[in-house]
Structure formats: structure tokens, C-alpha cells
Amino acid sequence: MIFKRVDHVELVPKDPHITIGFFVNILGFKIKNRTKVDLPPMEEVIFLELGDTVVEIISTQDPEQRSKAPWQVGYRALALEVNDMNKAVNYLKAKGIPMAVEPVDLGGSYRAEIRDPNELIIELRQWK
């Protein structure tokens, strides 16, 4: 097989410090690497990891806002697997993170959604 796995997902946030804080302090990611870059408009590249999942945060000067259209062409969501949906929801609500979509039983799994500080969708999935 030529392709092995998804290596990482890239995010361009409005404010990288807020986004990093959310991923690290709320979702439990760890900072794997931070590198300053001199490639305007890029300023810094930050790799965050959770288990074997890696998210790359790209700090840029004045990034453009995303469209508010719910079904636009592009990547729609980052999905995180959780062990216990109820515990995850209660934890997030206690941290002040509201549910964008309350948990739903889909038969083989439970699914919910939150939003990151940039209003990007983070899906929560508990497989049965």
C-alpha cells in the first residue's frame, strides 16, 4: 500500500494562542513541537498531539474568516473518539464548553458536536 495513514490535520486559527489553549487545556492535547517560520504570512507552526492524532496549528498574519455556510466544500469537522459520551459532555459543560449538537444515538455509536474557539466543528464519537 502506498498510503499509510493520515499524518496530521492543519488548522489556521484566528488567534493561535486561544486555539492552542483550548486544545491543550480543554481537550488534553500536548504540544509536540513549535517552530517559528519566516514565510509570510506564516509566523509559526505548532504540532499538537493526542495519542496518535496530530493537529498542526498554523499561525498566520490576519487570516481570512471562513464562510458561515454549514455545507461548504472543504473539510467539515475534526472528530475525537471518546470512551464515555456522558462523561465527556459533563466535563466539557463544566469547562464552559456548550454542546453545538447534543449527543444522539446512531445505533452503532453516539455522536455530539462542540465548536472550537474558531467555530470549527469538533465531533465527539463513542463507538458501541
Pairing of strands 53-60, 9-11: parallel
| Segment (H or E) for 17 | helix 16-21
Alpha-carbon distance of 63 to 25, in angstroms, equals: 24
Pairing of strands 42-50, 53-60: antiparallel
Q: What is the pTM of this model?
A: 0.93
**pLDDT in the model for residue 29:** 98
C-alpha cell at 26: 480543554
**pLDDT in the model for residue 32:** 98
**pLDDT in the model for residue 72:** 86
Placement of cell 458536536 in the chain: 113
C-alpha cell at 58: 498554523
Q: What is the pLDDT along the chain (128 residues), one digit of tens a residue?
A: 898 998 999 999 999 999 999 999 999 999 999 999 999 999 999 999 999 999 999 999 999 988 888 888 888 899 999 999 999 999 999 999 999 999 999 999 999 999 999 999 999 999 99
CA 67 to chain centre: 17
